[in-house]
């Protein structure tokens, strides 16, 4: 079967739907005029996201910055779609070839307000803030709230009732952030690498292309793509089910560095040569090998984030994510 790849410049990306696709992305620094991202190589597949950076401090003085990697926010009280919370698996960071420790920061927000300190003042543990077990598929023990805690939290609207249940549940959302302090010596290149197993959307919902133009807006499927997809669907008989996975990645964080991303490479890696790949992205992709497609851009300032459709995949089982494993302030990379 011939490869079909649709690569066009699209309009605004639509929001991810409810089957579990969430976006994670690159490391972020507060807007800096000293440190430039000279190079980024981003490799995306359904199994692994790997990012390799080269940074250069172009000023005359050493600079130390707080580097953060934020995860998607999730509602603490109700997890209908479990992949919308938790952390990517096997997250690791290397700086100049050496594993780097990082801090795990937990932030709770309610109505746009940071309520983390208030919850801690009421005596809640990180696990109580991060994980409410009644509405998740995970069998993890979390200590119950005391009567005093519950009373205060109800009075302060920190707990709420679900419309279809009488139980009080957390009203806040949670964001987990990995962060570390990074020194950038004047005039020297610092190489950073991080990788993780991404959240993916999978199953029938990921395969459905929709009746309107939503798929085209998000993934830019062209005529060749649709022709191949329809041929594959026809082979499936009545089900018309083409195994697929969606992978998302936040690209716009690259704009926080001086000059954006000066030298950018994107590698898309398929599980097998006859997988379909469709995405909205500028530039022209080349076929590096039977399973890898590559595009290179100079002075890249991402205008939108990355959404990649992998079709005709062998394994389209659901990725159910995992609850945050908050094991103290610092976690060692593996």
Task: Please write the tens of the pLDDT for every residue from 55-103.
Answer: 999 999 999 988 888 776 777 876 554 444 455 667 788 999 999 988 8
- On whether the pTM is more than 0.85, the answer is no
Phi, psi of 6 (to 5 degrees): -110, 120
Q: Which two tokens stand for residue 199?
A: 């959240």
How far is residue 129's CA from residue 119's CA, in Å, rounded to a whole number? 7
Give the H or E element holding residue 215. helix 214-219
% of the chain beyond a pLDDT of 90: 33
212 band by pLDDT with thresholds 50, 70 and 90: low
8 Å CB contact between 247 and 23: no
Q: What is the pLDDT of residues 319-329, one digit of tens each?
A: 444 444 433 33
How far is residue 18's CA from residue 123's CA, in Å, rounded to a whole number? 33
- Give the chain's mean pLDDT: 78
Q: Which of 109-113, 144-148, 233-237 has the lowest mean pLDDT?
A: 233-237
8 Å CB contact between 252 and 302: yes
Give the H or E element holding residue 231. helix 223-235
Burial of 308: CB neighbours in 10 Å, binned 0-12, 13-18, 19+: buried
Residues with Cβ within 8 Å of 294's Cβ and at least 6 positions away in sequence, in order, are 265, 266, 267, 268, 285, 286, 288
How far is residue 160's CA from residue 99's CA, in Å, rounded to a whole number? 42
């Amino acid at each position: 079967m011939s490869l079909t790849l649709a690569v066009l410049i699209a309009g605004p990306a639509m929001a991810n739907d409810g089957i579990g696709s969430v976006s994670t992305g690159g490391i972020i620094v507060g807007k800096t005029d000293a440190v430039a991202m000279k190079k980024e190589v981003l490799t995306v597949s359904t199994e692994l996201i790997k990012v390799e950076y080269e940074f250069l401090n172009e000023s005359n003085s050493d600079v130390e910055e707080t580097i953060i990697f934020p995860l998607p926010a999730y509602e603490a009280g109700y997890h209908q779609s479990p992949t919308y919370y938790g952390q990517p698996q096997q997250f690791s960071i290397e700086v100049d070839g050496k594993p780097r420790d990082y801090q795990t920061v937990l932030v709770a927000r309610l109505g746009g307000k940071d309520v983390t300190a208030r919850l801690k003042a009421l005596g809640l543990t990180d696990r109580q803030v991060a994980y409410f077990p009644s509405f998740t598929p995970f069998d993890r023990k979390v200590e119950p709230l005391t009567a005093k805690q519950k009373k205060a939290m109800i009075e302060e609207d920190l707990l709420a009732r679900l419309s279809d249940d009488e139980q009080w549940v957390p009203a806040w959302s949670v964001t987990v952030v990995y962060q570390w302090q990074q020194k950038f010596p004047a005039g020297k290149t610092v190489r950073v690498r991080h990788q993780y197993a991404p959240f993916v959307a999978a199953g029938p919902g990921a395969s459905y292309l929709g009746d309107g133009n939503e798929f085209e807006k998000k993934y830019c499927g062209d005529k060749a793509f649709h022709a191949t997809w329809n041929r594959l669907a026809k082979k499936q008989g009545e089900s018309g089910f083409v195994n697929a996975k969606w992978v998302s990645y936040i690209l716009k964080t690259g704009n926080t560095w001086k000059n954006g991303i000066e030298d950018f490479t994107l590698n898309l890696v398929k599980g097998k040569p006859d997988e379909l790949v469709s995405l909205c992205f500028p530039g022209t992709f080349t076929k590096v090998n039977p399973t890898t497609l590559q595009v290179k851009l100079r002075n890249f300032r991402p205008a939108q984030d990355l959404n990649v459709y992998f079709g005709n995949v062998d394994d389209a089982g659901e990725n159910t994510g995992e609850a945050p494993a908050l094991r103290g302030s610092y976690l060692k990379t593996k």
